């Protein structure tokens, strides 16, 4: 919507040039400026947005918002450009979150899976056309699905998507909310109706510096949300959150959890457990495998129930939901050939441990001799401390490890692999830098009963390499190799 001079001034809280009569849109990227829109110059980690003001002006920017004056441009000087970006994005899109029921999901692991479970429950209750989802894997607006660029996009994307959802008739939205999203003000000004915390383990230390800062960042979601708040009682930080934010309810295995997981067991192609709720026990059956997924299903169910969900609808929705893209995703072409190949997004030592534990369990249920073969690697330009830890975990839990290239970004893939290898048992580990060849190597060794885990990239379709981006989708590559093999 068009914001007039007064509305822009109020949103920013600072004076804007008299010449600026209105603003029709806002962006932080000069390449996306539209005539009559505002350009927010962000002092970034790599570049200074002020350097792109000439480009923004050429594209017809009506207003430039920056943390310092830019001679020759119509500038509003603000103390914090990212906050200004968020405030303006909320206003220019008509405050969409106030017209929606937004469920925020945060935590180190399990956000995407919990989001899909909750989305499945909400879709069953209110209709897919009235339900939306923003996750690492996808953005879903009613019946429309599109690939996501990152977990929590920049404020114009978040607010713009929420606004599209309002227009499309969506009422309930699951918004996966990363710590980057909170720290970099990408979700500032969003009204959350309910919030869920999955867990907190070492990750993103490059951004936060300390675990304490990481935790306090996530805690903000619970400070903002005035509706039901659910926290994982089996996680230390989850317990702390429940203690620190009054009114927070808990879910998990521990005695005393408001929503307690009881009698969990793997049955047939899925997992069954009881969820003891404040108003009675439910028998839940999910097609998802793995202990951690019981927590994801329990958390999503608890929040839905706290929001008034009908229990029969919930039980049916949990049972009927499909697979989550790139989260212990079983490749059909492998199953058709009597093999078990699983694609998983795990890209930290903790995530790798979780997925390999499940793979071991699945292999053990097939035969005593079944092996776990793991293809994995670490990303470049990110927390380096986890690299040897990933090597350690893979060697402890997999029979054969193949270290390969993940998203190397600007780093040398060989150097990353060497760092990962310092933690690995080299007698059972190969380094195959080419990701396709690494997968081929794993598949060539797999026999019936064995479980091959291709970890790290999950649903992603692009690999970021020092020489540029290449298309790469693990599940597709596995399928291509198996089909070529006949
Ligand atoms: C570390 C990080 O989060 N960086 C984010 C940060 O980048 P930055 O500040 O370094 O931006 P920059 O490249 O220095 O550029 C500064 C400014 O100039 C602008 N620019 C740049 C070029 C140009 O031609 N014109 C222009 O206007 C940029 O849009 C930017 O606003 O601000 C940018 C815009 O605000 C983000 O796009 C960028 O996300 C990068 C791409 C990213 O990969 N982020 C990841 C780590 C991330 O956010 N991950 C989380 C967590 C996922 C999880 O839970 O695992 C997520 O939510 O996805
Ligand atoms: N509740 C959980 N506890 C621990 N590990 C989990 C949990 N749920 C999922 N995982 C592991 O973490 C991986 C990522 O899961 P998911 O994508 O659901 O989490 P996420 O928080 O969205 O992660 P990211 O922010 O990296 O996308 C899974 O493939 C699994 O290995």
pTM for the model? 0.88
C-alpha 438/C-alpha 378 separation (Å) is 14
**Do 230 and 298 sit in the same domain of this protein?**
yes
Task: Tell me the three state secondary structure of residue 415.
Answer: helix
Contact indicator for 88, 38 with CB cutoff of 8 Å? yes
Rg (CA), the chain: 23
Per the listing, tokens 């001799």 go with: 369
What percentage of the chain reaches a pLDDT higher than 70? 100
Of the residues 88, 120, 145, which one is the last residue of a structural domain?
88
Question: How many domains would you assign to the chain?
Answer: 3
What was the pLDDT predicted at 268? 62
Average pLDDT over every residue of 433-455 = 96
The string of pLDDT tens digits covering residues 208-251 is: 789 999 999 999 999 999 999 999 999 999 999 999 999 999 99
Known binding residue 256? Answer is no
Average pLDDT over every residue of 356-374 = 91
pLDDT band at 474 (very low <50, low <70, confident <90, very high): very high
Average pLDDT over every residue of 402-406 = 98
**Do 411 and 444 sit in the same domain of this protein?**
yes
Examine the pLDDT at 342 and tell me if it is beyond 90.
yes
Q: How many CB atoms lie within 10 A of CB 194?
A: 22
Average pLDDT over every residue of 316-323 = 92
Examine the pLDDT at 203 and tell me if it is beyond 80.
no
What was the pLDDT predicted at 419? 98
What's the CATH number where 226 sits?
Answer: 3.40.1190.10
Residues spanned by the domain of 441 = 329-485
What's the CATH number where 55 sits?
Answer: 3.40.1390.10
Contact indicator for 401, 428 with CB cutoff of 8 Å? yes
**Do 129 and 269 sit in the same domain of this protein?**
yes
Pocket of ligand 2 (CB under 6 A): 107, 109-113, 136, 151, 178, 198-199, 292, 295-296, 327-328, 344-346, 351, 354-355
Distance between Cα 191 and ligand 1 center (Å): 23
Ligand located closest to 197 CA: 2
**Do 305 and 391 sit in the same domain of this protein?**
no
b/e per residue 169-178 (b: at least 16 CB within 10 A): ebbbbbbbbb
**Do 72 and 167 sit in the same domain of this protein?**
no
**Do 431 and 311 sit in the same domain of this protein?**
no
End-to-end CA distance of the chain: 56
Distance between Cα 407 and ligand 1 center (Å): 16
Of the residues 320, 337, 358, which one is the last residue of a structural domain?
320
Q: What is the mean pLDDT of the chain?
A: 95
Print the SS3 string covering 235-273.
CHHHHHHHHHCCCCEEEECCCCCCEEEEEEEEECCEEEE
**Do 436 and 399 sit in the same domain of this protein?**
yes
The string of pLDDT tens digits covering residues 27-62 is: 999 999 999 999 999 999 999 999 999 999 999 999
What's the CATH number where 435 sits?
Answer: 3.90.190.20
Known binding residue 265? Answer is no
Going by C-alpha positions, the residue among 349, 386, 135, 108 that lies closest to residue 241 is 108
Examine the pLDDT at 351 and tell me if it is beyond 90.
no
Contact indicator for 39, 65 with CB cutoff of 8 Å? yes
Of the residues 88, 122, 151, which one is the last residue of a structural domain?
88
**Do 206 and 308 sit in the same domain of this protein?**
yes
**Do 115 and 238 sit in the same domain of this protein?**
yes
Going by C-alpha positions, the residue among 165, 227, 166, 171 that lies closest to residue 196 is 227
Pocket of ligand 1 (CB under 6 A): 28-31, 42, 44-47, 49, 52, 150-152, 154, 178, 180-181, 184
Sequence-ordered list of residues with C-beta below 8 angstroms from that of 442, at least 6 positions apart, any chain: 373, 374, 375, 400, 402, 452, 454
């Amino acid at each position: 919507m068009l914001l007039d001079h007064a509305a822009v001034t109020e949103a920013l809280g600072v004076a804007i040039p008299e010449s600026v009569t209105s603003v029709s849109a806002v962006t932080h990227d000069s390449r996306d400026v539209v005539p009559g829109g505002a350009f927010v110059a962000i002092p970034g980690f790599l570049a200074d947005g002020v350097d792109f003001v000439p480009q923004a002006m050429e594209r017809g920017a009506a207003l430039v918002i920056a943390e310092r004056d830019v001679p020759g441009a119509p500038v509003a000087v603000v103390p914090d450009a990212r906050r200004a970006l968020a405030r303006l994005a909320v206003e220019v899109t008509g405050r969409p979150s106030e017209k929606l029921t937004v469920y925020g999901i945060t935590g180190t692991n399990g956000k995407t899976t919990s989001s899909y479970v909750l989305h499945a429950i909400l879709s069953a209750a209110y209709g897919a056309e009235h339900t939306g989802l923003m996750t690492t894997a996808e953005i879903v607006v009613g019946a429309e699905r599109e690939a996501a660029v990152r977990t929590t996009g920049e404020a114009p994307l978040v607010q713009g998507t929420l606004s599209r959802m309002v227009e499309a008739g969506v009422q309930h939205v699951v918004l996966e909310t990363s710590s980057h999203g909170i720290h970099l003000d990408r979700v500032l000004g969003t009204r959350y109706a309910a919030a869920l915390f999955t867990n907190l383990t070492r990750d993103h230390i490059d951004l936060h510096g300390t675990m304490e800062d990481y935790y306090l960042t996530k805690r903000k979601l619970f400070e903002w949300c005035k509706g039901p708040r659910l926290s994982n009682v089996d996680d230390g930080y989850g317990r702390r959150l429940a203690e620190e934010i009054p009114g927070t309810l808990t879910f998990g295995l521990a005695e005393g959890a408001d929503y307690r997981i009881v009698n969990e067991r793997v049955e047939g192609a899925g997992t069954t457990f009881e969820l003891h709720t404040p108003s009675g026990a439910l028998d839940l059956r999910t097609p998802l495998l793995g202990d951690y997924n019981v927590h994801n299903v329990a958390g999503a169910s608890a929040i839905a129930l706290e929001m008034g969900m009908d229990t029969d609808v919930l039980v049916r929705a949990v049972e009927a939901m499909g697979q989550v893209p790139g989260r212990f995703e079983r490749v059909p072409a492998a199953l058709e050939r009597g093999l078990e190949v699983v694609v998983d997004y795990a890209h930290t030592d903790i995530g790798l441990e979780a997925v390999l534990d499940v793979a071991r369990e699945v292999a053990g249920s097939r035969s005593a001799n079944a092996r776990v073969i793991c293809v994995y690697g670490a990303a470049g330009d990110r927390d380096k401390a986890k690299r040897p830890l990933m090597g350690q975990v893979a060697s402890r839990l997999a029979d054969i490890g193949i270290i390969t290239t993940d998203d190397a970004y600007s780093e040398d893939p060989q150097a990353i692999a060497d760092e990962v290898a310092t933690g690995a048992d080299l007698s059972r580990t190969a380094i195959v830098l080419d990701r396709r060849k690494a997968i081929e190597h794993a598949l060539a060794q797999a026999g019936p009963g064995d479980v091959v885990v291709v970890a790290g990239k999950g649903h992603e379709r692009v690999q970021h390499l020092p020489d540029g981006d290449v298309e790469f989708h693990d599940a597709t590559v596995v399928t291509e190799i198996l089909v070529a093999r006949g």
